[in-house]
């Protein structure tokens, strides 16, 4: 079967029946990556760096490809996205931030610059923020792959970045470190400190605090319950029970639909086995850690599994249709409109 045949005979009938009816006319994807080949300081997949095989996707993923994927996978709605570069030591931060400034010229894109402790001076950060239509930071990950070690939030963000974020009400999109993620008490305290010290900053925890598993969400959610300036993006979270546990504790207005493109343009589903997630995908993708490939199943774009997990959780906790639709657009739009950098 060709790619186009698969799209027409498997993906689109499923999309029209199960996914499209859930979506508002505009969809805002709060977590996507864009980069060009020349932004790599070293090819992270050719070098034998630790973590090099953590998550293989593609050599480059320019903004045109992101928008094309959004429109192809979610046709019939207007696709908009918060986007940023690759926040890893293998990427050139200056080149990535220059490209992000270019992305700001596209009205359907809301770029975040890469920032993090020790990476830039306050003047340098303000220079990038003042030069373009930039809505905040994607926090730099100062490690390779899943080598989180003993990293804390204090190691990732300093008062230099956070003071500016507080003044301008910036989005601070944070991928929390350590193997226990937001279930780790040290990480929970770090998030609480950020939220309370910088109450005007809008902190978004990527991948729902990386709580892909219900047990992790169960241990994590109480720590952020009372923090109104902490939001959660749904990127790569496909487990309905994780989202149900979250929505039982916090208002649904703090949940923001997100994909993590290009990753969930793969066909398959993120599942969990024992105490870790695994990406179960169709054959033909690059071999990668935590990726199991097989053609012995039906599968469509992982984006749909994220949307279905939200719908299944919303049903269980009794969200209205309006509240459900807001997760896909209004909730994120309000966060963007609160930013004072424009």
Residues contributing to the site for Zn ion (CB under 5 A):
260
CB of 33 to Zn ion, least distance (A): 6
Measured from the CB atom, the residue of 310 and 314 that comes closer to Zn ion is 310
Measured from the CB atom, the residue of 104 and 264 that comes closer to Zn ion is 264
Rounded Cα gap, residues 301 and 286, in angstroms: 16
Measured from the CB atom, the residue of 216 and 260 that comes closer to Zn ion is 260
CB of 31 to Zn ion, least distance (A): 6
**Closest by alpha carbon to 136, among 164, 108, 96?**
164
CB of 14 to Zn ion, least distance (A): 25
Q: Determine the 3-state secondary structure of 231 from DSSP.
A: strand
Measured from the CB atom, the residue of 32 and 323 that comes closer to Zn ion is 32
Measured from the CB atom, the residue of 32 and 188 that comes closer to Zn ion is 32
- Cβ proximity of 259 and 334 under 8 Å: no
CB of 259 to Zn ion, least distance (A): 9
Measured from the CB atom, the residue of 73 and 324 that comes closer to Zn ion is 73
CB of 10 to Zn ion, least distance (A): 26
Residue nearest to Zn ion (CB): 260
Tokens 């790619």 locate to 3
CB of 32 to Zn ion, least distance (A): 8
CB of 309 to Zn ion, least distance (A): 17
Measured from the CB atom, the residue of 269 and 314 that comes closer to Zn ion is 269
DSSP letter string, 86-155 = --STTB-HHHHHHHHHHHTTSTTEEE-EEE-TTTS-HHHHHHHHHHS---EEEEP--SSTT--TT--HHH
CB of 167 to Zn ion, least distance (A): 26
Measured from the CB atom, the residue of 139 and 217 that comes closer to Zn ion is 139
* CB-based contacts of 20, cutoff 8 Å, min separation 6: 76, 77
- Cβ proximity of 302 and 264 under 8 Å: yes
Tokens 């490939």 locate to 293
216-222 long-range contacts (CB < 8 A, ≥24 apart) are: 216/180, 216/181, 216/182, 216/183, 216/242, 217/183, 217/241, 217/242, 217/243, 217/245, 217/246, 218/245, 219/183, 220/181, 220/182, 220/183, 220/188, 221/245, 221/246, 221/249, 221/250, 222/249
């Amino acid at each position: 079967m060709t790619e186009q045949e698969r799209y027409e005979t498997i993906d689109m009938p499923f999309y029209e029946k199960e996914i499209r009816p859930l979506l508002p006319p505009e969809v805002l994807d709060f977590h996507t990556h864009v980069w060009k080949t020349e932004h790599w300081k070293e090819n992270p997949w050719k070098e034998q760096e630790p973590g090099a095989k953590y998550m293989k996707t593609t050599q480059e993923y320019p903004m045109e490809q992101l928008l094309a994927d959004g429109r192809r996978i979610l046709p019939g709605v207007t696709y908009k996205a918060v986007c940023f570069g690759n926040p890893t030591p293998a990427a050139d931060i200056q080149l990535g931030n220059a490209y992000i400034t270019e992305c700001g010229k596209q009205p359907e894109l809301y770029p975040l610059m890469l920032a993090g402790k020790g990476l830039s001076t306050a003047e340098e950060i303000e220079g990038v923020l003042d030069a373009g239509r930039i809505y905040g930071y994607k926090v730099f990950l100062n490690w390779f792959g899943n080598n989180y070690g003993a990293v804390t939030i204090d190691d990732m963000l300093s008062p230099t970045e956070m003071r500016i974020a507080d003044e301008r009400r910036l989005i601070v999109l944070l991928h929390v470190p350590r193997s226990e993620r937001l279930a780790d008490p040290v990480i929970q305290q770090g998030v609480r400190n950020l939220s309370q010290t910088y109450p005007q900053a809008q902190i978004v925890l990527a991948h729902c605090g990386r709580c892909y598993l219900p047990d992790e969400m169960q241990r994590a959610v109480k720590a952020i319950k009372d923090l109104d300036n902490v939001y959660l993006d749904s990127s790569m979270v496909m487990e309905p029970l994780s989202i149900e546990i979250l929505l039982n504790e916090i208002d649904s207005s703090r949940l923001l639909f997100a994909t993590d493109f290009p990753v969930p343009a793969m066909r398959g589903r993120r599942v969990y086995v024992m105490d870790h997630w695994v990406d179960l995908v169709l054959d033909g993708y690059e071999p990668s850690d935590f990726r199991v490939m097989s053609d012995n199943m039906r599968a469509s774009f992982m984006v749909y599994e994220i949307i279905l997990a939200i719908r299944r959780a919303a049903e269980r906790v009794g969200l209205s249709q309006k509240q459900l639709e807001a997760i896909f657009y209004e909730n994120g739009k309000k966060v963007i409109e609160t930013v004072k950098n424009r």
